[in-house]
Amino acid sequence: MTNSSSNTVNYQLSADPEFAFVLETFLSLANGGGVSTGEVLRAASQIIPGEFESFYDEFKFLADQMYALGKSSDPRKHPVSVRNVMFRASSYYRAADFFLHGNQDDPRIYSLWDSQTAAFNQAISLLDIPGERVNVTTSNGFYVPVIFYKASRGRERRPTILVGNGYDGAQEDSYHMACTEILARDWNCATYEGPGQPTVRRDQKIGFINEWWNVVTPVVDYLDTRHDVDCEKLALVGISFGGSLAPIAASHEHRFKAIIANDGIYNLGQFVAAQFSPAIQELFASGNSTAYDAVINEIRTNATTSTEVRWFIDQGLFAFNTTSPFDWMTRFQAIGLEGLTDSITSPVFVGAGQDDDSTAGQPQMLADALGEKAHYVLFATDVGAGEHCQIGAWSQFAQSAFDWVATFF
């Protein structure tokens, strides 16, 4: 099981490979105004490799400092300054939260999210065209939080891209990664979160579900009510694990002109399960949930286990809203595209990173299953785009993927 590449050619910001990967992920938000590089690099220099509390301490300190700096300035007189520093404060609160999910009762999981949301809300209220938060109701017992970013002040209907993140990413991250690129193309951008994703998991206590169309279709229905959205020109983006969720949604929701899966993922749960030892795989197959839970809990709480594995299990239990590793793995493997690709009617951009071993082989599996509907693009390491989801090189991804989408508009 892996979330980052220990063989990456990029400079490592920590001696702990998982810390290095996560630090790089947050550093990459600088491209969309989410952080300042010097601030992240300072935090990275102080974090003790492998110590989760150290990661929390440094980013909580940084977030509080930026938040106080934003509060010290009058947003009516200095809207740009306040907006920019509040975007950074929000990102740093999310970073402080990242490695805390091993204890699902930790109150900081919720207080940090309240802080990041407050900072982000102030920031988007100070955009030239303020972002709009909407809770979209569904018929399935939950609501979908959406943030809508309007491309222009006019009443004309504009092409609109709906963006969903993955296993751990927040829709606030999606603004800095994707929406800044989308808005620069004079298209509307909307982000959303479904069950298992940060806000829905915290506020509604719901873990990931298989039927992702039950998340996306109500959002499309909402977009269809807006006078500024051209529903003949819609596209759906899925980032990381969202590269599986977006095509799953598209197997039932056919109003999108195009789908973008970055990275494309056929079944992440099955890939992860196969990374455990044969003995653990056999134990899972036996159906002995009590024994399986004991073994996986021993792994995730063992100080000698890699940060990468500890975090991935902790995050999985949290995101699926369970304390049972057997339940997590069973439900995780059920979320995939087996038997669904024939029902997808839209063309699908399948992105892959040359140096990305976190989903090794998955993008090609998805492209093969889609056949002629797939547009497969491998992003190269030698120009800095070979990591998972082209972290740090999203401009290369955006040029390739959004130029492709434009051909359908």
Provide the residue count of the chain.
409
The CA angle 172-104-56, to the nearest 5 degrees, is 60
Phi, psi dihedrals of residue 175, rounded to the nearest 5°: -60, -50
The architecture of the domain spanning 14-126 is: Up-down Bundle (1.20)
Closest CA relative to residue 336, chosen from 265, 260, 397, 267 = 267
**3-class SS of residue 33:** coil
CATH numeric code, 130-267+335-409: 3.40.50.1820
Domains 14-126 and 130-267+335-409 share a fold: no
* Contact by Cβ (8 Å): 131, 125: yes
pLDDT tens, N- to C-terminus, the chain (409 residues): 444 444 445 678 999 999 999 999 999 999 999 999 999 999 999 999 999 999 999 999 999 999 999 999 999 999 999 999 999 999 999 999 999 999 999 999 999 999 999 999 999 999 999 999 999 999 999 999 999 999 988 889 999 999 999 999 999 999 999 999 999 999 999 999 999 999 999 999 999 999 999 999 999 999 999 999 999 999 999 999 999 999 999 999 999 999 999 999 999 999 999 999 999 999 999 999 999 999 999 999 999 999 999 999 999 999 999 999 999 999 999 999 999 999 999 999 999 999 998 888 999 999 999 999 999 999 999 999 999 999 999 999 999 999 999 999 9
Tokens 């493997």 found at: 333
Measure the CA–CA gap between 370 and 344, rounded to whole angstroms: 8
Predicted confidence at residue 360, as pLDDT, reads: 84
**Burial of residue 225, with CB atoms counted within 10 A of its CB: 0-12 exposed, 13-18 middle, 19 or more buried:** exposed
Domain extent listing, the chain:
14-126, 130-267+335-409, 270-333
| C-alpha–C-alpha distance, residues 374 and 81, integer Å | 43
Contact (CB, 8 A) for 296 and 330: no
Residue 2: the pLDDT is: 40
Residue 377: phi and psi, rounded to 5, are -130, 125
8 Å CB contact between 124 and 206 = no
Res 92: pLDDT = 98
Asked if 239 and 332 touch (Cβ cutoff 8 Å), the reply is no
